[in-house]
A and B are shown apart, each in its own frame.
Chain A
């Protein structure tokens, strides 16, 4: 396995991603200014800077360990289904307030049933369960616990 192939492994890419995140965090930490007492050892940026350096050290150890591994053991199946769930969830959250709980949740549950291959071949059951799940949690949150869920299209 050459170095480019090693770097492309997700077990190496993930600590690399955390390394970038830590660098952004450290840069922001260095810009923190204490309100009083100057930027002493025990100021508000002390802990973030300390944590950033601990993170760097641990990430280097992890990366070296992952780099030395010969082959990556297969972990789970395709990422397509999780990706579809993330996209569906993102859309659901974005439409939750503008559309209201009922239409947004109906759409979300339809998407999830399709992703999880649930009752795809029995349309009547499919529709029944979509409505049942939406109604059940409306009843639970709004009915039993008195939560104000977003109304349809922001009105009514």
Chain B
């Protein structure tokens, strides 16, 4: 209870002009990147990661949280208006929202998407604040073999979640772990894989990997798929007339969707957010399928179901809250956004874990408050203020946009360490990630392998060295055994269950 109260104190930090400014700026940047097809909020946070070196940790975390929430919501804008989801998590919203758009009710669909995002995002943030202290207590019970099994569980789930390409998932994750082994050994002061150069003795930083994997590779992918059809679609859509008053959904429609749908979808989204590698797309899909299954009007799905929009948007925004739990408690990010936020924490000398909640709640509480305020206030406010101009804003020339992104990415990778070598590494990882993406290897799995690799190695070697190299310790330690059993259960559930194709209209 005491910790929960200290989390509520985070709202006070948002009253500072500096922190408030970063939260609003982050939300607007996240909205733009989330709404623009081809750009994502992950890219926004990746580009802003270097800036976090120059600002305090509180505004940096507050900004990351508002970008995360905004990016998850704003994917619904182009999904509804031009049937191109700004973010992958808005796929289901595109199905229903664009059907309403074609009936001349686009503003109403955007209003329902915003309402779902607002309710789901707020519930997700509240659940995060409420359950974080409990998660902290549980985290204290886990010993070194258990920590190894937990990291292993996360990596296995990340790999098998794309069950069509498990071998490629293993390749990408292992590649990330291999990259993480470059530099000083995790237990002994000896350099590894420095190949005779001092430049690699300190290892490879998170910055060039993130910038390369998400910014440079995106630039190369967009350059390869360059065509002006999207630009012309957006220019055509500029003529759409959207009025502010149509954004507010009538009470009768909200009652028809039902409060229970919002709350249930939010809980589904939050639970999926806790799972590593699942993300907003899965949250939206599962909640949408569940809403359709239990709907009184399943025939509306595919033809503009407001209930479908509400379920999908409530779940993907609630997912934001859940995604922070494993990252803050165990240093295990569930998705690329929280992976980068973990980088911000580490850059500022903060170590994830129960102690972070106990001793430095004042630093992370504003981030939780930012998630809540972004969902509850900034989502509806942004829709009301900028809604009629969204299409005009995202119609900016992509040539100009990608050129600007290239400059930010490269100069950003320089400013973190003032190193030209880091810029070259960003380019190198960008090219590597480009080919990984081209051949359907998961770049996210590579990033999470890179981040979790040192922990995996450290816990494995520590556990074995304390037990004379006997691996049986992973089965005799109860916490470890529990996570190994959980790994097998998840692998069974994910690999055995066939996707319900009829869930997508």
- Using CB atoms and an 8 Å cutoff, list the residues of chain A in contact with chain B: 10-11, 14-15, 18, 22, 25, 28-29, 32-36, 40-42, 44-48, 51-52, 54-55, 58-59, 61-62, 65, 75-79, 81-82, 84-86, 89-90, 92-93, 96-97, 101, 105, 108-109, 112-113, 115-119, 129, 133-134, 136-137, 141, 145-149
Assuming the A-B contacts A25-B178, A32-B190, A36-B188, are A58 and B170 also in contact, with contact meaning beta carbons closer than 8 angstroms in the complex? yes
Alpha-carbon separation in the docked complex, A82 to B434 (Å) = 9
7 closest A-B pairs by CB:
A118-B399, A116-B399, A112-B403, A58-B170, A61-B167, A44-B185, A81-B223
Asked if A109 and B407 sit within 8 Å, CB to CB, the answer is: yes
**For B54, what are the chain A residues with a Cβ–Cβ distance below 8 Å?**
145-147
Asked if A42 and B469 sit within 8 Å, CB to CB, the answer is: yes
**For B192, what are the chain A residues with a Cβ–Cβ distance below 8 Å?**
28-29, 32, 44-45, 48
Alpha-carbon separation in the docked complex, A133 to B408 (Å) = 10
Range for the number of chain B residues in contact with chain A: 35 or more
Of the listed stretches B38-46, B248-256, B317-325, B423-431, name the one at the interface; the rest are far from the partner chain: B423-431
**For B439, what are the chain A residues with a Cβ–Cβ distance below 8 Å?**
10-11, 14, 75
Asked if B220 and A82 sit within 8 Å, CB to CB, the answer is: yes
Asked if A147 and B193 sit within 8 Å, CB to CB, the answer is: no
**For B415, what are the chain A residues with a Cβ–Cβ distance below 8 Å?**
141, 145, 147, 149
Chain A CB within 8 A of B461 CB: yes
Assuming the A-B contacts A58-B171, A108-B406, are A47 and B461 also in contact, with contact meaning beta carbons closer than 8 angstroms in the complex? yes
Shortest distance between the CB of A80 and any CB in chain B (Å)? 9
Taking a contact as CB atoms closer than 8 A, the residue among A15, A79, A90, A141 that contacts B171 in the complex is A15
Alpha-carbon separation in the docked complex, A75 to B192 (Å) = 37
Residue of B nearest to A58 (CB): B170
Decide if the interface of chain B is mainly helix, strand, loop or mixed.
helix
Taking a contact as CB atoms closer than 8 A, the residue among B55, B195, B226, B464 that contacts A116 in the complex is B226
**For A55, what are the chain B residues with a Cβ–Cβ distance below 8 Å?**
171, 174-175, 178
Q: Interface code B223-253, partner A: CB below 8 Å = 1, 0 otherwise?
A: 1111100000000000000000000000000
Residue of A nearest to B460 (CB): A47
Assuming the A-B contacts A41-B469, A62-B171, A92-B410, are A77 and B400 also in contact, with contact meaning beta carbons closer than 8 angstroms in the complex? no
**For A85, what are the chain B residues with a Cβ–Cβ distance below 8 Å?**
219-220, 223, 406
**For B410, what are the chain A residues with a Cβ–Cβ distance below 8 Å?**
89, 92-93, 96, 108
Alpha-carbon separation in the docked complex, A79 to B226 (Å) = 11
Other CB < 8 Å A-B pairs besides A32-B190, A77-B227, 8 of them? A41-B464, A62-B168, A81-B226, A84-B223, A89-B410, A90-B424, A116-B223, A134-B407
Alpha-carbon separation in the docked complex, A58 to B175 (Å) = 11
**For B400, what are the chain A residues with a Cβ–Cβ distance below 8 Å?**
113, 118, 129, 133
Selected A-B contacts with CB under 8 Å, 14 pairs: A25-B178, A35-B189, A41-B469, A42-B460, A42-B461, A55-B178, A62-B171, A76-B221, A93-B427, A97-B420, A108-B410, A129-B400, A134-B407, A136-B404
Assuming the A-B contacts A44-B187, A48-B192, A118-B399, are A148 and B418 also in contact, with contact meaning beta carbons closer than 8 angstroms in the complex? yes
**For A58, what are the chain B residues with a Cβ–Cβ distance below 8 Å?**
167-168, 170-171, 174
Asked if B221 and A109 sit within 8 Å, CB to CB, the answer is: no
**For B431, what are the chain A residues with a Cβ–Cβ distance below 8 Å?**
86
Residue of B nearest to A72 (CB): B439
Q: Interface code B386-409, partner A: CB below 8 Å = 1, 0 otherwise?
A: 000000000001111011101110
Asked if B224 and A76 sit within 8 Å, CB to CB, the answer is: yes
**For B4, what are the chain A residues with a Cβ–Cβ distance below 8 Å?**
none
Alpha-carbon separation in the docked complex, A21 to B263 (Å) = 49
Alpha-carbon separation in the docked complex, A119 to B398 (Å) = 11
Alpha-carbon separation in the docked complex, A109 to B167 (Å) = 39
Taking a contact as CB atoms closer than 8 A, the residue among B189, B427, B434, B464 that contacts A42 in the complex is B464
Chain A CB within 8 A of B503 CB: no
Alpha-carbon separation in the docked complex, A84 to B220 (Å) = 10
Shortest distance between the CB of A1 and any CB in chain B (Å)? 18
Residue of B nearest to A105 (CB): B407
Assuming the A-B contacts A93-B424, A117-B399, A118-B397, are A54 and B174 also in contact, with contact meaning beta carbons closer than 8 angstroms in the complex? yes
**For B170, what are the chain A residues with a Cβ–Cβ distance below 8 Å?**
54, 58
**For A81, what are the chain B residues with a Cβ–Cβ distance below 8 Å?**
223-224, 226
Chain A CB within 8 A of B481 CB: no
Asked if A133 and B427 sit within 8 Å, CB to CB, the answer is: no
Alpha-carbon separation in the docked complex, A68 to B482 (Å) = 39
**For B435, what are the chain A residues with a Cβ–Cβ distance below 8 Å?**
14
Which residues in chain B, 432-488, are within 8 Å of chain A measured between CB atoms? 434-435, 438-439, 456-457, 460-461, 464-465, 469
Alpha-carbon separation in the docked complex, A45 to B178 (Å) = 11
Asked if B427 and A51 sit within 8 Å, CB to CB, the answer is: no
Shortest distance between the CB of A6 and any CB in chain B (Å)? 15
Asked if A47 and B457 sit within 8 Å, CB to CB, the answer is: yes
Residue of A nearest to B409 (CB): A89
Chain A CB within 8 A of B348 CB: no
Assuming the A-B contacts A62-B167, A62-B168, A75-B438, are A86 and B427 also in contact, with contact meaning beta carbons closer than 8 angstroms in the complex? yes
Assuming the A-B contacts A46-B461, A133-B400, are A28 and B406 also in contact, with contact meaning beta carbons closer than 8 angstroms in the complex? no
Chain A CB within 8 A of B51 CB: yes
Chain A CB within 8 A of B139 CB: no
Chain A CB within 8 A of B27 CB: no
Interface hub of A61, A146, A148 (most chain B Cβ within 10 A): A61
**For A62, what are the chain B residues with a Cβ–Cβ distance below 8 Å?**
167-168, 171
Residue of A nearest to B436 (CB): A14
Chain A CB within 8 A of B177 CB: yes
Alpha-carbon separation in the docked complex, A7 to B29 (Å) = 44
Taking a contact as CB atoms closer than 8 A, the residue among A22, A44, A79, A92 that contacts B188 in the complex is A44
Alpha-carbon separation in the docked complex, A40 to B227 (Å) = 56
Asked if B171 and A113 sit within 8 Å, CB to CB, the answer is: no
Taking a contact as CB atoms closer than 8 A, the residue among B190, B398, B407 that contacts A44 in the complex is B190
